Amino acid sequence: MRNFTKIVGILLFFITVFLLIISSPVLIGEEDGRIFLHPKRVGLGLQFFFQEVLEGNTFEYIAGKTSYDMRETLPHFFFTSLKFILGAAFISLVLGLWLGVLFSFRQGRLLKGVLDFLHVTPDFILALFLQILSITIYQVFQFRIARLAYTGTNLQSILLPLVTMVVTATVFIIRCVEDYACKVKGEEFILYALSRGVGYLSLITTHLLVPILHYLRSDYHRLLALIIGNLFIVERIFKIPGITTFLFEYSFQRRYDSLTDKILSVTQFNVVFFGFLALIILYWIVYLLTDFLTRQLIRWRQG
């Protein structure tokens, strides 16, 4: 009973925080140099949202002047983002594990300096620099290495966004793996395995890798939070029609009304709600899949 109350309490806490965040663009406003709170507007917006849910029109949203059905468009946004998150998670895990173990054995000061600086370099700097680099290469060598932005279904920008996401996530994993490798290398079972004449390769792939993977599993939530954060930036910069684009482009829109000569703000709570819901589902799909594959790898290495 106590646990049930706790779960309900935590759920209510999250729902309240979630509602507060998504309604803040409507709740907080300004006029004549003063800040105002508009709880009534939020109430009306939420009332309209729940009314639409009851009437079954909750999946309709407006983009520009056209009305769309989320059941038709949302899967496209969802799978576009899924493709990038999955790609970034798997590539960074493989690369990060390999490089992390390697760097724990040999590491130059310069390399460590570069890795440390990459760790603090914001993802948007990396993305914008990759774009500028691609243009420079194209202008100098007349050679197109990547597409700068998504301009159509057949003209997708994949390489640069993926590189941005992979670099950020890989640097994070390298630092974690390095840390864990140093810890595991000092354990007595490593010394025991060495004294029993276990080969170096086998020592790394079994005795070192398995404990590292166990430790690393606890970092998957942090890794995915980082990747999701990257997704927001990358989809914005490379104009990728993913779930965060859907969320930001259509949830709050500004329209110029020529009749009143004013900029009108339009809020669609259903877009915010389903956008965030899709993002949470995306998060858990990738988390569970990554965790499952890691467990399989551990089981395989342990025989």
Partner 1 sequence: MKRFNLQLTLGLFLLAAIAVLSLMGSHMAPHESDFSDNLVYIETEKGRELFISPVPPMRQYPLGIDQYGRDILSVMLHGAKFSFGTTVVVALLRIIFAIGAVFFTKLSKRSKFKIGRKSSSLHRSITGLNAVPQFIIIYFILYGINFNSSLSVPLLTLLQWLLLVVFGVPGLIPSISEYVSQLQRSEFVTAARSNGAGPLRIMLVHILPHMKEKILLLFSQETVSVLTLVGQLGIFNIFIGGTLFTPAPPIYHSITHEWAGLVGQYRFKIQPGNWWILLFPLIGFIIMLLAFYLTSRGLELTVRKKYHNTSYL
Among 67, 263, 300, 302, binds partner 1 (CB under 8 A): 263
Kindly state the helix (H) or strand (E) to which residue 237 belongs, with its residue range.
helix 220-237
Q: Judged by CB, which is closer to partner 1: 92, or 168?
A: 168
Residue with tokens 């669609």, as numbered in its chain: 268
Tell whether residue 233 is a contact of partner 1 (CB under 8 A): yes
- Which residue in 16, 53, 69, 116 binds partner 1 (CB under 8 A)? 116
Confirm or reject binding of residue 32 to partner 1 (CB under 8 A): yes
The nearer residue to partner 1, 66 or 139, going by C-beta atoms, is 139
DSSP class of residue 149?
S
- Least distance (Å) from partner 1 to the CB of residue 198? 21
- Among 283, 279, 272, which residue's Cα sits nearest to residue 249? 272
Nearer to partner 1, 124 or 215 (CB): 124
Q: Strand locations in the chain, DSSP E?
A: 28-31, 34-37, 60-63, 66-69, 252-257, 262-267
Choosing from 19, 252, 285, 298, the residue that interacts with partner 1 (CB under 8 A) is 252
Binding positions for partner 1, 118-157, rule CB under 8 A: 120-122, 124-125, 128-129, 131-132, 135-136, 138-139, 148
Distances (CA, A) of 208 to 158, 185, 196, 211: 34, 7, 15, 6
Strand partners, 265: 254
> Is 188 among the residues that bind partner 1 (CB under 8 A)?
no
Taking the alpha carbons at both ends of the chain, their separation in whole angstroms is 42
Q: Please, what is the minimum distance in Å from the beta carbon of residue 300 to partner 1?
A: 30
Best CA proximity match to 227, nearest among 276, 287, 272: 287
Decide if residue 205 touches partner 1 (CB under 8 A). no
13 binds partner 1 (CB under 8 A): yes
Instruction: Report the residue from 248, 249, 285, 294 that binds partner 1 according to the rule CB under 8 A.
Output: 248
Chain center to CA of 12: 25
What tokens does 269 get?
Answer: 């709570």
Structure tokens at 107: 């590491």
- Identify the DSSP state of 154: T
Closest to partner 1 by CB, 43 vs 113, is 113
Q: Does 221 bind partner 1 (CB under 8 A)?
A: yes
Minimum gap (Å) between residue 260 Cβ and partner 1: 12
Q: Helix/strand/coil (H, E, C) string of 186-209?
A: CCHHHHHHHHCCCCHHHHHHHHHH
Q: Summarize as ranges the residues that interact with partner 1 (CB under 8 A).
A: 6, 9-10, 13-14, 17, 21-22, 24-35, 113, 116-117, 120-122, 124-125, 128-129, 131-132, 135-136, 138-139, 148, 221, 224-225, 228-229, 232-233, 236-237, 248, 252, 254-256, 263, 265, 283
